[in-house]
Chains A and B, each alone.
Chain A
């Protein structure tokens, strides 16, 4: 438990304004974008690795739970301090330390906002590909800890594929450095990968070396509608299977499209059973050729309509429907659950059918959205968390959706993480030995279970 002398030590260490302990302030750090809440006992906002290490030492000596937080946009409850203790928020460690285009890396502190890094890279002709929906506010530290994805990860890969190295404060208070600035580096275990998606359970990431990449010359986008949802999904795996690798292939079912159209009046075809948004990028010549082949393929699967965009303004217009899917369903809420189950691409048609069947069986009105090109499903389920009867049905349906992914060799989460949302379902996809191996690592690194306790490990 927390006492005043510990609080005073933290204040001496970090300054009064960086230690929060009133009930009003603590209330602001009890949540993320998941449904649950838990009040921390104290919140600290350090400004350097040295300060982080000092806080960790206090936590370790006094056996106090410590949960890291970035911008608090996680949808799985990862930064919720279920065992109370300290919340360590990285928002003030937000310096971009170095951008090196010749060696193609950037070094950042964990509190740097993904969108702010993009703004710094764009004038140099570079970008950092992972683009989670929260890109404008979520932090790189949070992105790494949750191994965030995004629509364009289909072509470019997820956060982990861009992490070259990192500095970590371990639960012991020791500072370690993993990886390097080299694109190729097989010196020892690839431990930075272990920390990607570790959700703050193994260490606190205090500095990150990221791979950056040149912006493509141009992009082309097409919005295609189908009379049949199954054909929509089949078109996706056919395109991927044919060797084309689009930047993004976003699938929306008819309920999703109708809700978006009702709110935004974009002129979308509400009769279509499935809609696909496909984008390719590269040189103008590659884009033209790939788009030509994509058009052939979608026509083979009975495309009803095709809308192509070449200028960035036209592309933005086509993306509008997809971008507003979350807001539109969030508004129906009052709360929203965005599911994240993922299957191999060829199983997308069958999985979508299964999800729809389960939702119908439980009388749940939800849209089905998917980063279909990488098999990442996002059923958007508006809920009222105070309605216990409804929540019971929804939780039952989600459990069945997870179970349905297993025979397809799918997985629980593509990009949102486990946190509180999916911890209990881990045994569905990870066998006893595998989970035991995770526990062995956790116990070796954090024997007192102080770092983000109460989560998946």
Chain B
């Protein structure tokens, strides 16, 4: 155990917290556990007393800090503008230094730190998925989710399926860069094809930089800031440039990372952050980009009439950093959109949270699934790949509501 007086590196500014408790009202984990120690306010207090040397680093302290979805709702709703998100991230790193992450989390970090490793692991896993006996896949679980309910991996990476540059289908209106993220590249190729289709349909030339890497958020959440920095620099090198009017993301978490985390990481390492700031200003999620240009979409009335009814789940990082896509579903009148009463609430996915704390994730997902099914919709839309895996995987009983990215759904309605 570490001497408490050495806790200076976690000595971050926690003193603007007035302990009003408003964060408890928006914390998904608190809503399940109903124990102050599982609240954002408590985590801020723990960071403070740790930095003051009143408590020492311990496995329990690590758990209290990391039993958090990192959804950012506390930060987004804090009257005193406490930056819980960054402080938790820093404290997680601090705790991981003293108490290592479990082996499977370390394995994930190892893979995400290098695009090449990830590609190789994905191709091995693809083979694995093919030869896995069905009974085995059903018995073994990732958190609460049976392996059989996990999505298949792409047969080839999405980026290897498409050209580096795709011309618009009609009149050219501009150029955008597309950050595809690991999920689209390795798991949900449909999201990538749909995003490409929407952008080219609206008249945009789409460039997908070949050397892009993982956005780095899993690395930052699990204390691998050094490896994260390498990815961040690689991404800045491919995305910082004139010409493109926007950098499109299809994953809200990648988007929030590219937008909000790159500058602080570089600044902490004593590096200049102006390039990260330029990128930050251009980051936009695909559905917000579509929303701002709705007049460019030609919806086929017949296709829309024949389409299934949809409901929607707003991912936390979209809600807290960008804007939920429900507004697009509402504004395209031809879409039969049936809102679920808790469409804005967290699903409990949270990166690796659903794997680390399945009992909490199950309660959160259960509420969502119940309300989505009650909406009567036939398809469930959500922008985030982890929400999608979590909400699809945690559906237990007979009726299974399919999930896809809103971009995929809207792409099917185009003329």
Contacts and interface: CB of A to CB of B under 8 A. Distances in A.
Given A31-B19, A72-B21, A134-B20, A24 B61 contact: yes
Which of A32, A72, A111, A328 has most B Cβ within 10 Å?
Answer: A72
B55 A334 contact: no
A327 B80 contact: yes
B25 interface: yes
B21 A331 contact: no
B45 A27 contact: yes
B19 A330 contact: no
Contacts of A138: 21
A91 B80 contact: no
Interface in B46-61: 46, 49, 54-55, 58, 60-61
Contact of A330 (B18, B24, B60): B18
B46 A24 contact: yes
Interface in B260-301: none
Interface stretch (B35-43, B184-192, B204-212): B35-43
Interface string B59-70: 011001000000
Which of B25, B45, B64 has most A Cβ within 10 Å?
Answer: B25
A94 B34 contact: yes
Contact of B64 (A24, A71, A115): A24
Contact of B21 (A27, A92, A137, A327): A137
A115 B64 CA distance: 26
A94 B24 CA distance: 15
Interface residues of B, number: 28
B37 A28 contact: yes
B9 interface: no
Given A27-B46, A33-B19, A330-B80, A137 B24 contact: yes
Given A72-B21, A137-B22, A334-B15, A91 B36 contact: yes
B241 interface: no
B22 A134 contact: yes
B16 interface: yes
Contacts of B152: none
A136 B42 contact: no
A386 B14 CA distance: 13
A67 interface: no
B18 A335 contact: yes
Interface string A1-40: 0000000000000000000101111011111110000000
Given A24-B60, A24-B61, A71 B37 contact: no
A29 B16 CA distance: 19
Contacts of B55: 23-24, 27
B25 A136 contact: yes
B50 to A, nearest CB: 9
Interface string A65-97: 000000111000000000000000101101000
B398 to A, nearest CB: 28
Interface string B85-118: 0000000000000000000000000000000000
A128 interface: no
B172 interface: no
B305 interface: no
The binding surface of chain B is classed by DSSP as: loop
B230 interface: no
Contact of A134 (B16, B21, B42): B21
Contacts of A31: 19, 45
B165 interface: no
A206 B12 CA distance: 40
A331 B19 contact: no
A18 to B, nearest CB: 9
B36 A24 contact: no
A156 interface: no
B81 interface: yes
Contacts of B376: none
B151 interface: no
A27 B56 CA distance: 12
A32 B21 CA distance: 8
A105 interface: no
A135 to B, nearest CB: 9
B79 A326 contact: yes
Nearest to B81: A331
A29 B36 CA distance: 7
A166 interface: no
B15 A22 contact: no
A182 to B, nearest CB: 32
Contacts of B24: 71, 137
A111 B49 CA distance: 27
Given A28-B37, A137-B21, A334 B46 contact: no
Nearest to A382: B18
Contacts of B61: 24
A22 B18 contact: no
Interface in A314-349: 324, 326-328, 330-331, 333-336
A22 B22 contact: no
B49 A330 contact: no
A45 interface: yes
19 contacts: A23-B55, A27-B42, A27-B45, A28-B37, A28-B46, A33-B18, A72-B36, A92-B34, A92-B35, A94-B34, A113-B25, A134-B21, A136-B22, A137-B21, A327-B79, A331-B80, A334-B15, A335-B18, A336-B18
Given A91-B36, A327-B79, 19 more contacts: A20-B37, A24-B46, A24-B58, A24-B60, A27-B49, A28-B36, A28-B37, A28-B45, A29-B37, A31-B19, A32-B19, A72-B19, A89-B35, A134-B20, A137-B25, A328-B79, A330-B80, A333-B16, A333-B80
Interface of A: 20, 22-25, 27-33, 45, 71-73, 89, 91-92, 94, 111, 113, 115, 134, 136-138, 324, 326-328, 330-331, 333-336, 386
Interface of B: 15-22, 24-25, 34-37, 39, 42, 45-46, 49, 54-55, 58, 60-61, 64, 79-81
